[in-house]
Structure 1
Amino acid sequence: MSPLRLLFLALAIWGAVHPMAYFVSWFSENGWSLGAMLEAWHANAATSGLVWDLTIAAITLTVWILAEVSARRNWSALLAIPATFLIGVSCGLPLYLFLRTRPV
């Protein structure tokens, strides 16, 4: 495996673990309520802006993945879509790059 692929894999793992630690900490302090989490994400203009920034990035990444998968037939790359929406762009993007750069 190339050093670049290893870097993408390491970034995908970091992008899954690091943000999730904050989410789990927040849920343990505030209860397991997605509604309360959404409220916290829109607590002020700065957090709302960040949420929209990440949402637009996630949608853009999804469109890119779908376009490339239809052209390249790299079906495993579709795994990056649920990773993006269930974990975050910080996991989904490097995971997609890891899957995209595998030898065909």
Structure 2
Amino acid sequence: MRWVFLALAVWGAVHPMYWFLAYMNEGHGFGALIEAWYVNASTTGLAWDLTISALTLTLWIAWDSVTSRDWLGLIAIPAIFGIGVSCALPLYLFLRTRPARAALPKAS
């Protein structure tokens, strides 16, 4: 299942970015992309849905990393805001489900 999460993370990075870049290649800039998120009630709802999901995922990753003392999952936080939830959530699940490291032997 772990590798399914990784494949979904790659897909979640590439597929949405394809559409964002296609939109921007039509002559629209980043500002127009942000404005398009609020063009009607439907897109505004989706923008808020993703914003709340991003905030929730960020809080979960931070809390889980602190309580488990497993810091590698924090890599997914920049992915949330730099790429998107569609990449960051499966990336975090990929990192979180990795095999545990072997325990170090106790010093005698």
TM-score normalised over the length of structure 2: 0.89
Distance 1:60 1:13 in 2: 21
How far off its partner does 1:103 sit?
Answer: 1.4
For the pair shown, the structure with the greater C-alpha radius of gyration is 2
Look up the match of 1:94: 90
Q: Does 1:49 align with 2:45?
A: yes
Q: CA deviation at 1:7?
A: 0.4
Let me know the Cα RMSD of the aligned residues.
0.9
CA distance in 2, matches of 1:24, 1:91: 16
Who is 1:30 aligned against?
27
The runs of 4+ residues in structure 1 deviating greater than 2 Å are none
1:6 and 2:3 are equivalent in the alignment? yes
1:61 counterpart letter in structure 2: L
Is residue 83 of structure 1 aligned with residue 98 of structure 2?
no
* Correspondence for 1:72: 68
Superposed CA offset, 1:41-65 (max 9, x none) = 1110000000000000000000000
Gaps in structure 1 of 5+ consecutive residues = none
Among all aligned residue pairs of Structure 1 and Structure 2, give the percentage whose two residues are the same amino acid.
60
- Single out whichever of 52-61 and 66-75 deviates more from structure 2: 66-75
Counterpart CA distance in 1 for 2:60 and 2:67 is 11
Q: Which residues of structure 2 form unaligned runs of 5+?
A: 101-108
